[in-house]
Amino acid sequence: MGWQSLGAGGKSWGEEEIGVTTEFVLLDKTDSGAAWRYALIALAVFLISESISTLIFRYCENRNYLEFVILISIKTLIFWWIVPLLIVYKIENRDIKFLGLVIARGKYLIYALYAFAALIIPLILLGYKEYYPMEFVEQILYIGFPEEVFYRGFLMTRMCQWLGKYKGLLAASLIFGFGHIVSRLADQGFGYFFPATYIGLQTFFGGLIFGYIYIRAKNIWPSGILHVSTNMYIQDMISTFTS
């Protein structure tokens, strides 16, 4: 099939990896209007997802934590996994390459070593803590890795197809930061505005880093692993090595 990269001067990607290339993945030249439509659909999913997250935070304000975890995990499963997959297969008529989930042949061992370095070496350096298993489960269920699937694999890919590589990266990172501001305000209330804004700025810059890694790797696995590792260990590393 004749594919053309949008926002990259017509350059084709990775002929040596035909079938697994995922970087801002190539819309058919005969359907150039699809780029902005797919981007707007992804933005609509983001807005609906954030609205439901806000309702969950408010509903669970005075309830137990387990109930929150169950509800937010269901929301994540639906809007960050199932809905993007349905959109990719049923609306876009594409496949999971377009969510950044395909790893090129020959890179499995490299990514396994990368996962070991990111997830196990910090554990060795910091020592085991009783909250790490639950933290890891949360990062896999509804925080770090699902955020990479949704914000990079789904949203950023489509923003880059629409706006171009680096404008798409910037737009997706702004949306990523904004989403964290909304979730903090939903959780803590508007009295938390300035701390929430600070967190939003942090996650905006984090989004730029994760997005750039996605650009280079052409799939979301390295940024997903790094995202989980950073969320799990960064506070303990700062407190351990600065005290």
**What does each of the 243 residues of the chain score in pLDDT, given as a tens digit?**
333 334 333 333 333 333 334 444 443 333 567 889 999 999 999 999 999 999 999 999 888 899 999 999 999 999 999 999 999 999 999 999 999 999 988 899 999 999 999 999 999 999 999 999 999 999 999 999 999 999 999 999 999 989 888 999 999 999 999 999 999 999 999 999 999 999 999 999 999 999 999 999 989 999 999 999 999 999 999 999 887
Pairing of strands 27-28, 3-4: antiparallel
- The domain tally of the chain equals 1
Q: How far apart are CA 23 and CA 215, in angstroms?
A: 6
Look at residue 222 in the predicted model and tell me its pLDDT. 96
Query: How many Cα neighbours within 13 Å face the side chain of 69?
Result: 10
100 and 78 Cβ atoms separated by less than 8 Å: no
Structure tokens at 42: 């992804």
Identify the bridge partners of residue 4 per DSSP, sorted by sequence position.
27
Look at residue 3 in the predicted model and tell me its pLDDT. 33
Q: What are the residue ranges of helices labelled H in the chain? A: 34-59, 65-76, 83-86, 108-119, 121-126, 132-141, 144-147, 157-163, 165-188, 193-217, 221-242
Look at residue 33 in the predicted model and tell me its pLDDT. 78
Q: Residue 165 belongs to what domain range?
A: 3-242
Burial group, residue 235, by CB count within 10 angstroms (0-12, 13-18, 19+)? exposed
88 and 96 Cβ atoms separated by less than 8 Å: yes
